[in-house]
Amino acid sequence: MPINKLPRGVAIVGAGMSKFGAFPDKNGRDLFVEAYKEMTRSVDKGLDPSAIECFYLGNFSSDLFERQGHTAPLLADAVGLTPIPAARVENACASGATALRQGVIAIASGLYDVVLVGGAEKMTNLPTADVTDTLATAADVPFEIAAGFTFPGFYAAIATAYMARYGMKPEHLMNVAIKNHDNGALNPKAQFGVTIQKWMEGRVAAALKKGKPAPAWSDIWDFLHDDSANPMVAWPLRLFDCSPITDGASAVLLVAEERVREFTDHPIRILGSAQASDAALHDRADLTSLPAAKLAASRAYEMAGVTPKDIRIAEVHDCFTIAEVVASEDIDFFAPGEGFKAAEDGMTAREGAKPINTSGGLKSKGHPVGASGVAQAVEVWKQMRVEAGERQVPGDVPLAMTHNVGATGSTCVVHIYERRD
């Protein structure tokens, strides 16, 4: 299949996100307003909202989470953008990046010059069992859910296949959680913006305050092996292997290349945009890799005309720790079976050769499903423009990647970004 180039250049000229977390007094719309306001303030030369011609919203399941459908026009109205066209895009956890890609296509086609892309999800209204059931609708319900699978369960099955093939141990996955919490601790927007060390110390302090005996964890590894501190969710995945249930929203502004200078002198150009789909997990030859992710990544590389070694940082879809390990191989940062060793060796840390999830990732920053794909672009925007504060990676970030997965890889969307001052 020939690789299509974008017929017209597209760049991000503004990006913002709400705080991620659990907010009983805010709905998805309120959170999107926060993200939108931050996005407008990030446009260097200012934004006249009447310039925005179209809106794509990534949202997985406002219907079940909030009992609110037809979400896109409501969010457009909340930020004063009606009557422009507003459309919700649903591709499970890849809804955000799919919406981003629709925005890219809309501009590349020549139809629009200025497009708003948002993502929003309000998840914490429901009790955990209902959230589990809602997320399960992203699977192949008649053929996978009847078998008792949950989303942690699917990725756990991927982990067991990976462990059997490559000799990884469940402990190796903890390196991913530790690293992402280290990054998230430096991200003021993160839901769990603390290191696992601080988390553990907090648990000890809380116990002492209640007059209870302090738990005697010798270090974070001891803490992470404790079934009471880090309970099993779906063996071999424990609580700290899983991204949380999160409320949050994100927004980016896309502009056609020839109009970029009206908005900023420091745009982030979309160099590659690719997407692939796949059957359910059981219908794949190999469980240790996501074929849609490999395909989307290779097409994005080809469209961008760059190679994995050119990419300075990546935000990948770490809905579970094993997902980051597999992702780091699917985007060809590391060879198959090497991803868990790279995480152990610190190669994916901020100071490493291939920093992954400098934002804290879904694990620590939080995973408001439909918002996550767009929030990955927000992090890349900040890092490339040297606006990431304490978590800024050393040196230049001329090229970056985002990798957003729906379900167990029935959808994967990969974007490659270039700083173009």
| 415 is an active site residue | no
d(CA 413, CA 18): 22
Interaction between residue 253 and other proteins (CB under 8 A): no
d(CA 87, CA 322): 33
Both tokens assigned to 413:
């969307």
d(CA 275, CA 78): 30
34-73 residues in contact with other proteins (CB under 8 A) are: none
The span from the first CA to the last CA of the chain, in angstroms, equals 33
# binding residues, other proteins (CB under 8 A): 40
Cβ neighbours of 50 (radius 10 Å): 10
Choose the stretch contacting other proteins; rule: CB under 8 A; options: 48-56, 58-66, 145-153, 176-184.
145-153
Which of 93, 99, 114, 233 binds other proteins (CB under 8 A)? It is 233
Residue 390 near residue 397, CB atoms below 8 Å: no
Q: Within the chain, what is the greatest distance between any pair of CA atoms?
A: 67
Instruction: Please count the CA atoms within 13 angstroms of the CA of 221 that sit on its side-chain side.
Output: 5
Which of 67, 83, 146, 395 binds other proteins (CB under 8 A)? It is 146
CB of 231 to other proteins, least distance (A): 7
Interaction between residue 138 and other proteins (CB under 8 A): no
Choose the stretch contacting other proteins; rule: CB under 8 A; options: 36-44, 161-169, 296-304, 354-362.
161-169
β 10-17/268-277 pair status:
antiparallel
Interaction between residue 284 and other proteins (CB under 8 A): yes
Interaction between residue 157 and other proteins (CB under 8 A): yes
| 93 is an active site residue | yes
Interaction between residue 147 and other proteins (CB under 8 A): yes
Interaction between residue 287 and other proteins (CB under 8 A): yes
d(CA 269, CA 284): 34
Instruction: Considering the complex, state which of residue 40 and residue 246 has its C-beta at the smaller distance from other proteins.
Output: 246
Binding residues for other proteins, rule: CB under 8 A, are 128-130, 132-133, 136, 140, 142-150, 152-154, 156-158, 160-161, 163-164, 231-237, 279-284, 287
